[in-house]
């Protein structure tokens, strides 16, 4: 019993070890180390139940550490007591941990064959678990292990082919090779596995030099506004006028042909703003032939939407968020009681239909997303290849000065690699940035400062394999990995020491 408990505890620590692989620390090799440790523990698991507990422990370690910043939103801004906030986030992390847990249980129960087959089995199962976590019950793919492999990781070149879930499966496959070799301790398998890992990383590095898209037209000047409004003030009626004034002043100071205000920059629904306010914003940009995109809440038939609208040149276009944030914008499954203890303004929003058309401004088509929506790569590609640019409006002030901001920026970099489209990000408190098609950050404002990021960005045209196929290739490869791992030879391998 003590041994089983000790292994679960080690699994928790292994899960926590994965978190520094992501931004802002960015030690991407730790993702391999974390999963390799998990495989070693699973190789010593003697039953389905033991594997489940180890997988649950790994998930709790990764998610409780990696998204602990959710507590800030509930406690500081949601009027929920600290103990209840911690409990809610722990329960949510437990729900997330239920995705890797059965995968680990399946590996512990049905693994067989040699090193290669076991690694393929683990990689396929892991890719399926990550994909399910990103799609089931509306999905929450934050901290999908593939996100840790943005440049300079040598496997970043696989993003345009397989997306984040395919990269996750590849990382798990290589970690599986390491973990099985560490468990069986045979020099021959170490050499073969090391050679295969070097080959996979070398191919990934070579693929990263492919340019999947080319510039389409001349650059557009864009002013990305970072308003830096404290979340405590955003919904305080005494600060409404000040918040509205800041937005007007910053739009007036912006010089770009396109000016962008962040998510929910205007603290009242569009039809409840002071008389003449929208006209003032429109007049400022119209006087110089510019356009403004602003985040604002809208309502229709008694329903509220988190939206963005255009003013000035190209006025009248509207995009409303279709993929909402659990807790912040709706209660997740089994958490309907949440709003009985929390007080979060504008938190009972309605989703809009998916596959809304991009904005068309200055002859360019811009794929829109609001905050959390850029976690869902398969949804963003619905605007491609039509759109040549991507624009995300965000407000992560809910989570204070935490890992949430750099983690979200890293997610955006993965979307850029998948689509070969530059992404503009306008945020309230950070990180406002321009990300180029190679996932490099061209320019960025410091977090928690008020400012305007003036950039020039061109639209791009071209298709990556991921834009063509979405997650299909990743899921097919995952299925092959699981099938290979499940096949039994007429003469079973003893002790898992064969080459597979």
Q: Is 340 among the residues known to form the active site?
A: no
Render pLDDT for 439-463 as a digit per residue (tens, 0 to 9).
Answer: 999 999 999 999 999 999 999 999 9
CA dist., res. 271 & res. 460, Å (int): 35
pLDDT digits (tens, 9 = 90+) for 73-112: 889 888 889 999 999 899 999 999 999 999 999 999 999 8
Quote the pLDDT of residue 78: 82
Convert the pLDDT of each residue in 273-315 to its tens digit: 999 999 999 999 999 999 999 999 999 888 899 999 999 999 9
* Assigned domain for 492 exists: no
Q: Peptide bond preceding 342: is omega within 30 degrees of 0, i.e. cis?
A: no
Q: Answer yes or no: is 269 within a domain.
A: yes
- Buried b / exposed e over 361-380, threshold 16 CB at 10 Å, is bbebbbbbbbbbbbbbbbbb
Shared domain for 197 and 308, answered yes or no, is no
Q: Active-site residue 191, yes or no? A: no
> 128, 51, 15: which is closest to 477 by C-alpha?
128
What's the pLDDT score for residue 497? 38
Catalytic residue among 93, 371, 373, 418: 371
Q: What is the pLDDT of residues 234-274, one digit of tens each?
A: 778 888 899 999 999 999 999 999 999 999 999 889 999 99
Strand partners, 141: none
184 occurs within a structural domain: yes
Residue 481 and residue 423 in one domain: no
pLDDT in tens, 307-357: 999 999 999 999 999 988 877 777 766 767 777 777 777 667 888 888 899
Q: Is pLDDT of 498 > 50?
A: no
Q: Looking at residue 499, what is its pLDDT?
A: 38
Which percentage of the chain shows pLDDT scores above 90?
78
Q: Check which CATH number belongs to the domain holding 218 and give it.
A: 3.60.110.10
Query: Beta-carbon neighbour count of residue 199 at 10 Å?
Result: 10
Residue 496 lies in a domain: no
Residues 332, 405 within the same domain: yes
Q: Which of 37, 93, 181, 263 is catalytic?
A: 263
Whether residue 44 is found in the same domain as residue 125: yes
Q: Based on the domain organization, do 338 and 361 belong to the same domain?
A: yes
**Is residue 364 over pLDDT 90?**
yes
What is the pLDDT, as a whole number, of residue 244? 94
The first and second tokens of residue 337, run together, are 């009681």
Mark whether 313 and 457 lie in a shared domain.
yes
53 is catalytic: no
What average pLDDT does range 416-423 have in this prediction? Answer: 98
pLDDT band at residue 131, thresholds of 50, 70 and 90?
A: very high
Beta bridge partners of 216: 459
- SS3 labels along 285-303: HHCCCCEEEEEEEEEECCE
Co-location of 248 and 204 in the same domain: no
**Is 320 within a domain?**
yes
> Residue 323, Cα to own-chain centre: how many angstroms?
13
Say yes or no: 171 and 218 in one domain.
no
Tell me if 224 sits within 8 A of 453, measured CB to CB. Answer: yes
Q: What whole-number distance in Å separates Cα of residue 235 and Cα of residue 250?
A: 20
Does this model's pTM top 0.85? My answer is: yes
Q: How far apart are CA 26 and CA 247, in angstroms?
A: 34
Judgement on whether residues 292 and 329 belong to the same structural domain of the protein: yes
Judge whether residue 493 has pLDDT over 50: no
Annotated catalytic residue within 321, 329, 373, 418: 321
Q: Is 491 inside a domain boundary? A: no
Domain extent for 165 = 2-210+471-486
Q: Is 225 in the same domain as 262?
A: yes
Give the pLDDT score at 99.
97
The gap from C-alpha 403 to its chain's centroid, in whole angstroms, comes to: 13
Residues 220 and 203 in one domain: no
Asked if pLDDT for residue 213 goes beyond 80, the answer is yes
Number of domains present in the structure of the chain: 2
pLDDT classification of 496: cutoffs 50, 70, 90: very low
499 found inside a domain: no
- Transcribe 183-210 into DSSP letters: HH--HHHHHHHHHHHHHHHHHHHHHTT-
Written as six digits, the tokens of 461 are 């045209």
| Residue 344 located in a structural domain | yes
Check residue 171 and give its pLDDT.
98
Residue 344 has a pLDDT of 74
CA angle 31, 32, 33 (to 5 degrees): 90
Same domain as 446, residue 482: no
């Amino acid at each position: 019993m003590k041994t089983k408990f000790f292994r679960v505890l080690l699994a928790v620590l292994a899960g926590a070890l994965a978190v520094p692989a992501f931004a802002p620390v960015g030690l991407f090799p730790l993702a391999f180390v974390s999963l390799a440790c998990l495989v070693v523990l699973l190789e010593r698991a003697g039953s389905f139940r033991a594997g489940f507990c180890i997988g649950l422990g790994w998930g709790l370690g990764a998610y409780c550490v990696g998204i602990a910043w959710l507590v800030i939103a509930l406690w500081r801004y949601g009027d929920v007591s600290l103990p209840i906030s911690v409990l809610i986030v722990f329960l949510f992390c437990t729900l997330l941990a239920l995705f890797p847990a059965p995968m680990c249980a399946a590996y512990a129960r049905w693994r067989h064959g040699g090193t290669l087959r076991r690694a393929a089995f683990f990689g396929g199962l892991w890719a399926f678990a990550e994909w399910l976590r990103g799609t089931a019950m509306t999905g929450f793919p934050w901290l999908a292990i593939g996100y840790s492999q943005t440049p300079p990781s040598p496997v970043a070149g696989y993003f345009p082919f397989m997306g984040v879930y395919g990269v996750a499966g590849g990382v798990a496959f290589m970690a599986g090779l390491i973990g099985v070799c560490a468990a069986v301790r045979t020099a021959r398998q170490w050499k073969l596995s090391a050679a295969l890992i070097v080959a996979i990383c070398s191919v990934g590095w070579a693929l990263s030099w492919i340019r999947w898209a080319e510039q389409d037209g001349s650059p557009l000047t864009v002013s990305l506004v970072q308003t830096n409004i404290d979340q405590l003030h955003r919904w305080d009626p005494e600060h409404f006028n000040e918040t509205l004034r800041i937005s007007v002043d910053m739009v007036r100071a912006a010089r770009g042909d396109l000016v962008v205000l962040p998510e929910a920059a205007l603290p009242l629904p569009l039809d409840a703003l002071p008389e003449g306010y929208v006209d003032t914003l429109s007049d400022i940009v119209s006087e110089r032939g510019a356009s403004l995109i602003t985040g604002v809440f809208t309502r229709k038939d008694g329903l509220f939407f988190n939206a963005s609208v255009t003013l000035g040149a190209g006025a009248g276009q509207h995009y409303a968020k279709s993929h909402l944030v659990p807790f912040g914008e709706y209660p997740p499954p089994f958490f309907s009681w949440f709003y009985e203890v929390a007080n979060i303004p504008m938190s009972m929003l309605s989703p809009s239909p998916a596959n809304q058309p991009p904005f068309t401004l200055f002859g360019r088509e811009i794929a829109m997303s609001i905050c959390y929506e850029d976690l869902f790569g398969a949804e963003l590609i619905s605007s491609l290849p039509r759109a040549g640019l991507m624009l995300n409006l965000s407000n992560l002030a809910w989570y204070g000065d935490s890992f949430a901001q750099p983690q979200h920026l890293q997610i955006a970099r993965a979307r850029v690699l998948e689509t070969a489209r530059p992404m503009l990000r306008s945020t309230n408190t950070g990180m406002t940035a321009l990300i180029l098609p190679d996932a490099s950050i061209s320019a960025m404002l410091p977090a928690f400062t008020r400012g305007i990021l003036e950039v020039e960005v061109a639209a791009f045209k071209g298709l990556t394999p991921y834009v063509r196929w979405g997650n299909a290739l990743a899921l097919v490869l995952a299925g092959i990995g699981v099938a290979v791992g499940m096949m039994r030879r007429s003469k079973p391998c003893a002790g898992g020491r064969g080459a597979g």
